[in-house]
């Protein structure tokens, strides 16, 4: 009896694996999500920014709350080749890295660049990393989704 | 040594900071600046009105190309589906079109300046003539007592009017030559250029006509031939206006061409009325001064009827009376008709629409009939007849007597 049950179980598992193997499964690799030029966006009254060109819209309110500021304008947004979004603004101390979820942006990392706030930040797409520059101070940083590169 | 070292450190720091700043450019700013400069250059091109403006624009396009050539990829990404090359080509093509436009504008400006200068010169010459005419009029009024001087002044006045007529005719001919055959494109360009004129040729035509009306109303001591010359000038002017008025007003008074044409038409009508008020009386006086009393007339047709009536009545009278006085009257009229009316007034009669060639020819034919009727008939034949009859009777009586014997 026990042997029969084990046999039935193994058969069922094998059948399920076979069915799963026969289902739709296709993976495209080496996708480049990089956005060549950063988007410079003004939040509306509800702190929602909308990028018409790259078709994304989200609220920056949670970020403002995290930065402990009431407003920021404009918001700088860029996406790197791995598909992570980088967000910052003048007055922020950090760069926020988000990954795309289903109808949401999930915070991947907060990259602290300076103890003071950024004066006039801008993102440049540099292929394997994102360059963050502060035009007000002349400081420059290299970042990716894992954090600040090169110290 | 310390100073040299400090300078070196400062130089290194400056160079390093420059390099850092140079490296730290925002791609976003670069493409934004490119867009801004591109739009500014297109505005310059659109607003360029002189070659100097375009020279500056050409330099700016070259500078744009030199400045942003290294950022082609960034700009291509930013302005997709446009490209850096297509934008530059667009600028060059706009620039080329603007060069042609500016060339046209400059050519038109030259034409406007030329026209302005010509009009100004014309205005000045006309003003000088008008001033001279006014002086002569005043002198004529002041010299009524001195007949010899008066005659000289009137002669000068006539010459002044004639010179003015020729001058105006030259101006009208010039307008005719310039604008008679302009195509619609040139007309549109001229219309645009004419907006820059302080006073257009149409304005000047109105001024000229206004002066003609004054001349006709105020002139004194003028003879029939002077008014005939005015009439001929009026006809010439009217024909010019009929053929060119619409075109000129469409070009030079594009805002209200109909109203402008009506103003000129009214002035022409006023001028004609002013001439008519004087011309018929002057012609009648001229005939009367030569002992030819025509019926009163106040139009060209009535003048012709008066001539016909005079010749016809005189012919009938000559046929009936056949006196020496009739022959004398014929000779007087014929001489005045041929030597003054036809010889001196000549073409102005026809060009001024006073008499037609047919009407003059008709009067000439009637004069032939009058001539025949006016020559006194000879009595020689009657005398010869009576003598012959007397001789025959004498002979018959002689023969009868001889037979009886």
Q: Which residues in chain B (192-251) have CB-CB distances under 8 A to chain A?
A: none
> Among A97-106, B24-33, B371-380, B394-403, which stretch is predicted with the lowest mean pLDDT?
B371-380
Are B29 and A122 a contacting pair at CB < 8 A?
Answer: yes
Q: SS in 3 state form for B324-378?
A: HHHHHHHHHHHHHHHHHHHHHHHHHHHHCCCCCHHHHHHHHHHHHHHHHHHCCCC
Asked whether residue B56 carries a pLDDT value surpassing 70, the answer given is yes
Gap from A140 CA to chain B (nearest CA, Å):
7
Task: Name the closest residue on chain A to residue B27, using Cα atoms.
Answer: A124
Tokens representing B354 are 């006073």
Asked whether residue A15 carries a pLDDT value surpassing 70, the answer given is no
Length of chain A equals: 151
pLDDT at B166: 84
A-B contacts (CB, under 8 Å): 39
Q: What single-letter DSSP state applies at residue A37?
A: B
Within an 8 Å CB–CB cutoff, is residue A122 touching chain B?
A: yes
- Higher pLDDT among residues B150 and B313, named by residue: B313
Residue B310 buriedness (CB in 10 A; 0-12 / 13-18 / 19+): buried
CB burial string B2-30: b at 16+ within 10 A, e below: eeeeeeeeeeeeeeeeeeeeeebbbbbbb
Gap from A100 CA to chain B (nearest CA, Å):
23
Q: B26 contacts in A (CB within 8 Å)?
A: 38, 122, 124, 133, 135
Query: Dihedral of CA A107/A113/A119/A123: which sign?
Result: negative
Give the pLDDT band of residue A25 (cuts 50, 70, 90).
confident
Are A138 and B77 a contacting pair at CB < 8 A?
Answer: no
Of B17, B23, B28, the CB nearest to A38: B28
pLDDT tens for A38-75 read 999 999 999 999 999 999 999 999 999 999 999 999 99
Separation between Cα atoms, residue B173 and residue B388, nearest integer Å: 75
Q: What is the mean pLDDT of chain B?
A: 85
Within an 8 Å CB–CB cutoff, is residue B34 touching chain A?
A: no
- What is the model's pTM? 0.54
Rg (CA), chain B: 43
Query: Distances in Å between the alpha carbon of B121 and those of B116, B162, B167?
Result: 8, 19, 12
Within an 8 Å CB–CB cutoff, is residue A56 touching chain B?
A: no
Gap from A95 CA to chain B (nearest CA, Å):
16
Q: A125 contacts in B (CB within 8 Å)?
A: 27
pLDDT at A97: 98
Gap from B39 CA to chain A (nearest CA, Å):
20
pLDDT tens for B329-386 read 999 999 999 999 999 898 889 999 999 999 999 999 999 999 988 887 766 666 788 8
Are B26 and A36 a contacting pair at CB < 8 A?
Answer: no
pLDDT at B1: 41
Asked if ipTM goes beyond 0.95, one says no
Mean pLDDT calculated for residue range A121-149: 95
Task: Name the closest residue on chain A to residue B75, using Cα atoms.
Answer: A37
pLDDT tens for B150-160 read 778 878 887 88
pLDDT at B200: 80
**In 3D, which of A95, A98, A97 has the Cα closest to residue A118?**
A95
Distance of alpha carbon B172 from the chain centroid:
2
Q: A135 contacts in B (CB within 8 Å)?
A: 24, 26, 29
Gap from A18 CA to chain B (nearest CA, Å):
46
Only one residue has tokens 């105020």, namely: B218
Q: B20 contacts in A (CB within 8 Å)?
A: 138, 140
Q: B71 contacts in A (CB within 8 Å)?
A: none
Candidates A51, A124, A135, partner chain B, best to mutate (most B CBs within 10 A): A124
> Among B8-12, B201-205, B315-319, which stretch is predicted with the lowest mean pLDDT?
B8-12
């Amino acid at each position: 009896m026990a042997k029969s049950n084990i046999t039935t179980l193994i058969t069922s598992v094998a059948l399920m694996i076979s069915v799963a193997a026969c289902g739709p499964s296709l993976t495209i690799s080496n996708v480049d999500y990089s956005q060549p030029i950063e988007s410079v966006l003004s939040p509306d009254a509800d702190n929602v920014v909308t990028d018409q060109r790259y078709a994304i819209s989200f609220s920056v309110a949670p970020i403002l709350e995290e930065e402990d500021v009431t407003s920021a304008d404009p918001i700088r947004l860029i996406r790197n080749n791995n598909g992570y979004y980088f967000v910052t603004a003048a007055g922020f101390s950090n760069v926020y890295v988000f990954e795309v979820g289903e109808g949401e942006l999930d915070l991947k990392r907060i990259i602290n660049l300076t103890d003071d706030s950024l004066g006039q930040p801008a993102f440049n797409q540099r292929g394997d990393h994102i360059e963050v520059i502060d035009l007000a101070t002349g400081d420059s940083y290299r970042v990716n989704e894992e954090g600040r590169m090169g110290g | 040594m310390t100073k040299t070292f400090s300078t070196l450190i400062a130089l290194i720091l400056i160079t390093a900071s420059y390099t850092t700043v140079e490296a730290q450019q925002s791609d976003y700013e670069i493409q934004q600046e490119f867009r801004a400069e591109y739009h500014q250059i297109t505005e310059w091109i659109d607003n360029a009105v002189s070659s100097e403006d375009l020279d500056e624009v050409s330099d700016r396009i070259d500078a744009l190309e030199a400045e942003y050539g290294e950022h082609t990829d960034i700009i291509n990404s930013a302005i997709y589906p446009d490209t850096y090359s297509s934008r530059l080509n667009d600028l060059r093509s706009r620039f080329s079109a603007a060069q042609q436009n500016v060339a046209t504008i400059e050519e038109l400006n030259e034409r406007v300046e030329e026209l302005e200068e010509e009009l100004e010169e014309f205005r000045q010459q006309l003003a000088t003539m008008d001033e001279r005419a006014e002086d002569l009029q005043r002198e004529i009024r002041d010299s009524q007592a001195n007949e010899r001087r008066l005659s000289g002044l009137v002669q000068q006045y006539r010459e002044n009017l004639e010179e003015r007529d020729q001058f105006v005719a030259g101006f009208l001919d010039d307008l005719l030559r310039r604008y008679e055959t302009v195509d619609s494109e040139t007309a549109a360009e001229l219309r645009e250029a004419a907006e820059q004129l302080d006073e257009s040729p149409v304005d000047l035509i109105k001024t000229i006509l206004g002066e003609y009306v004054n001349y006709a109303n105020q002139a004194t001591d003028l003879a029939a031939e002077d008014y005939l010359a005015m009439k001929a000038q009026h006809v010439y002017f009217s024909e010019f206006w009929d053929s060119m008025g619409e075109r000129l007003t469409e070009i030079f008074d594009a805002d209200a061409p109909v109203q402008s044409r009506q103003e000129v038409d009214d002035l022409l009508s006023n001028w004609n009325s002013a001439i008519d008020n004087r011309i018929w009386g002057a012609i009648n006086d001229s005939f009367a001064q030569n002992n030819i009393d025509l019926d009163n007339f106040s139009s060209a047709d009535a003048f012709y009827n008066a001539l016909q009536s005079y010749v016809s009545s005189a012919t009938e009278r000559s046929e009936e009376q056949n006196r020496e006085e009739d022959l004398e009257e014929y000779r007087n009229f014929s001489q005045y008709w041929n030597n003054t009316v036809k010889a001196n007034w000549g073409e102005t009669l026809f060009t001024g629409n006073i008499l037609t060639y047919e009407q003059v020819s008709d009067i000439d034919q009637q004069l032939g009939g009058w001539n025949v009727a006016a020559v006194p008939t000879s009595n020689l034949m009657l005398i010869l007849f009576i003598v012959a009859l007397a001789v025959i009777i004498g002979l018959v009586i002689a023969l009868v007597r001889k037979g009886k014997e």
